[in-house]
């Protein structure tokens, strides 16, 4: 099995090489164990440690990988909510921070890396990035569990984008934007904002 390490804000690897089903299962299983340990330490029940929210970008097979991640995380007793479609990382972060039952989030993305990469970012209950202390603990669990688990659980797919976009629209002066009669060109560069930003701007007139 691959020797997996987290770098700056996540683990990243080439799809089909080191980013495989087995390696993803190991990373999610280890991450869920650490999230659960902290949730229980904070007073949550062992059999109901809270909610984990999982999102993904629009890279190759990202939704299928995210479904696998959700199944693995759910085996640890979490109420797992999976984004029904691709979403930007800030959407996942905001969704976690707004859910009082959420103890963390998992985002499948490799950020600025080339298209052939995918990765895993971990988010804390406030939506912020997991620090090195937490990812070091995940790596320690990975070292102790070199084989992927076969356990799979049940998750729920949810719409993360609609409430996020509604919140964005509520933060700006929609009337002023509409009256400005702006013409805007959007190039999302194949990123996870594709479709969403153009639609948001149209909604704002």
Say how far apart CA 183 and CA 174 lie, in whole Å. 15
Total residues found in the chain within this entry: 205
Q: What are phi and psi of 106, to 5 degrees?
A: -130, 125
pTM, two decimals, is 0.95
- The answer to whether 120 and 28 are in contact (CB under 8 A) is yes
State residue 8's pLDDT score: 85
Q: What are phi and psi of 56, to 5 degrees?
A: -155, 160
State residue 2's pLDDT score: 73
Chunk the chain into consecutive blocks of 10 residues (it has 205) and report each block's average pLDDT, rounded to whole numbers: 87 97 98 98 97 97 98 98 98 98 97 95 98 97 94 98 96 94 91 94 92
**97 among known catalytic residues:** no
Structure token pair of residue 63: 């939704």
State residue 1's pLDDT score: 62
Which residues make Cβ contacts (< 8 Å) with residue 144, sequence separation at least 6?
none
Beta strands in 11-72 (DSSP E): 11-14, 51-56
Which secondary structure element, helix H or strand E, spans residue 144, and what is its range?
helix 132-144
Of these residues, 31, 83, 110, 111, which one is catalytic?
111
């Amino acid at each position: 099995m691959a020797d997996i390490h987290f770098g700056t804000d996540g683990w990243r690897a080439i799809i089909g090489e080191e980013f495989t089903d087995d390696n993803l299962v190991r990373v999610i299983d280890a991450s869920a164990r650490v999230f659960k340990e902290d949730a229980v330490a904070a007073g949550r029940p062992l059999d109901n440690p809270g909610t984990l929210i999982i999102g993904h970008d629009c890279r190759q097979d990202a939704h299928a990988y995210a479904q696998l991640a959700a199944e693995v995380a759910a085996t640890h007793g979490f109420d797992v909510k999976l984004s029904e479609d691709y979403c930007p990382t800030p959407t996942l972060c905001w969704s976690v921070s707004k859910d009082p039952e959420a103890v963390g989030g998992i985002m499948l993305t490799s950020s600025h890396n080339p298209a052939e990469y995918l990765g895993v970012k971990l988010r804390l209950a406030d939506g912020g990035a997991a620090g090195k202390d937490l990812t070091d603990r995940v790596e320690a669990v990975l070292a102790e569990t070199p084989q992927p688990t076969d356990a799979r659980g049940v998750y729920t797919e949810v719409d993360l984008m609609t409430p996020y976009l509604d919140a964005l629209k509520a933060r700006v002066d929609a009337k002023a934007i509409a009256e400005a009669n702006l013409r805007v060109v959007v190039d999302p560069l194949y990123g996870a904002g594709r479709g969403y930003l153009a639609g948001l701007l149209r909604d704002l007139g």
